[in-house]
Amino acid sequence: MEGERLRPGGGFFLSVNLVFLSQAASYGLAFLLRVVLARGLGDEGLGTYSLFFITVLIAAGIGNLGVGLGNIYFLNKGTYRFEELMRGSFFVIAVTAVISTVIVIAYGVIYQPDAFVSGKAFWLYAPTVPVLVAYLLLTSFLHGESRFLALSVVASVQGLASVLMAAGLWGADALDVFGAAASWIGAFLLADLLALALIGLRRVEWRLTLRPAWPVLREQVKYGAQGQLANLAQLFNYRLDQYLVVAFVTRAGVGHYTVAVGLAESVWWISTAVAMVLLPRLTYMEREQADELAPLACRNTLIISIGAAVALMALSPFLIRGIFGNEFSPAVMPLILLMPGIVAASAARVIWSYLFSQGKVIYNTLATLITLGVTVVLDLALIPILEVNGAAIASSIAYTVSLGATLYWYQKVSPNRLRDALLFRPSDIQLYVDLWRRLRTRLVPADKAPAG
């Protein structure tokens, strides 16, 4: 495709393969970390850790104000200088650090240091939020410049550090919720430093880091906040049910659901990789080229995700009982119930990248808010009756609604028909033939390749 040659740094499939391998490594490490935590903390301890983890994700999602999305968009549009965008990002990190510290101290003093985690673990909220905000904003510069190898290295280092530190504590019989959370924070801090080094210390105007270019920062927030609202709503779509599970079921139930969700979301490896590569590429492309590439990527991502979902459902009983232990066997059915929605969300992710690239990020936000409403209603209706299985059914239906809403606005923006984005074409087989030939050429020297 001609559009692939518009961007430097390799073709579309090369970038997707690189990000996919990175996602596989990151999710593989996250999976390994979940195994360590499940074995070391038990189902109730894993549930408690998961609630801490989700709370920090939500706080960081609010704290970054969407500036990371603004960075990606404006870097590819060339609207503002890199240095101006970086100054605004550092300012947001600093403000987040101050506000999160004040809130945590005030809450701990006025009430008590107990919010899903208690005692010394509670105070970890203060440093974790700005560390995670820094990660989101710093990696947005690598993403915005399509530096997928650097982005992959940062994510892999973060995952590996988390696993090694948690495994070390487990091996020393010292793993508790505080140690698990502290390990997670330390891994993200290391990843922040690495991301900053890869971005280039010389590119940062250190003397001006707390003096942002206010007009630029306003535009970063103005554009990014639209998409970040969608991200937050999506995060609630993905994780709100865990709060309700602990309210209506038990923390052990949260642990079971965490395992089910973690495994189910492995199907998103390919859609996440495709969406990450598409986001800057489609934004950079001319409109006609973006209209051609987006449906091609969506329908092929969808067919691959369906195959992955079927395979995972077949293997899930053996994976969960064999790896996590019989204590987590109740996670099998929720995983199976999640699969239809997981597949639907895979297609939605690709469509979101297209809408973002066309400056219609507000449509993503509207679709996600609709989905959030469906999630809340179904969770409240189903979890008290069906417990963890109810949470899985609610999420699956909500993800499918998300795809439907996204496709509604996609049809308004794109000249393509819906079937172009959803239905696999026989002509697409040539893509896989060409990909196989490229891989074969790289792996097998021409003089050693078999005839024919």
Q: What is the pLDDT of residues 144-154, one digit of tens each?
A: 888 888 988 99
Residues 6 or more apart whose Cβ sits within 8 Å of residue 41:
48, 49, 175, 176, 177, 180
What 8-state DSSP symbol labels residue 451? P
Indicate if the alpha-carbon torsion angle 24, 29, 30, 32 is positive or negative: positive
pLDDT score of 438: 64
Q: Buried (b) or exposed (e) across 16-27, using 16+ Cβ within 10 A?
A: bbbbbebbebbb
What amino acid occupies position 139? T
State whether residue 146 is helix, strand or coil.
coil
DSSP, collapsed to helix, strand or coil, labels residue 79 as coil
Nearest CA-CA partner of 68 in 143, 152, 150, 156: 143
Which residue positions in the chain have pLDDT lower than 50? Answer: 1-10, 446, 449-452
Q: Return the closest-CA partner of residue 185 out of 153, 162, 205, 215.
A: 162
In one-letter notation, the amino acid at residue 191 is A
Q: How far is CA 89 from the centre of its chain?
A: 20
Q: Exposed (0-12), middle (13-18) or buried (19+): which is 106, by Cβ within 10 Å?
A: exposed
Q: Which segments within 133-235 are labelled E, that is strand?
A: none
Give the per-residue pLDDT at 78.
82
What amino acid occupies position 218?
Answer: R
Residue 8: what pLDDT? 35
CA angle 271, 128, 31 (to 5 degrees): 40
Long-range own/partner contacts, residues 245-248 (CB < 8 A, 24 or more apart):
245/383, 245/387, 245/388, 245/391, 246/47, 246/51, 248/383, 248/384, 248/387
The number of residues making up the chain comes to 452
| pLDDT on residue 405 | 92
From 242, 352, 254, 247, select the one nearest 297 (Cα to Cα). Answer: 352
117 phi, psi to nearest 5 deg: -120, 155
Q: Is the pTM of this model over 0.85?
A: no
* pLDDT, position 380: 95
CA separation for the pair 409, 406 (Å, rounded): 5
Predicted confidence at residue 362, as pLDDT, reads: 80
pLDDT of residue 421: 86
Alpha helices in 172-213 (DSSP H): 177-199
| Beta-carbon-side half-sphere exposure of residue 253 (alpha carbons within 13 Å) | 19
Contact 55, 115 (CB under 8 A): yes
Whole-number Å distance between alpha carbons of 158 and 359: 32
| Residue 20 pLDDT | 64
Question: Is 71 exposed, middle or buried (CB count within 10 Å of its CB: 0-12, 13-18, 19+)?
Answer: buried
**pLDDT at site 11:** 54
Backbone phi, psi, residue 106, to 5° = -65, -45
Which of 231, 230, 283 minimizes the C-alpha distance to 79?
283
Q: What pLDDT score was predicted for residue 442?
A: 57
Contact of 395 with 237, CB cutoff 8 Å: yes
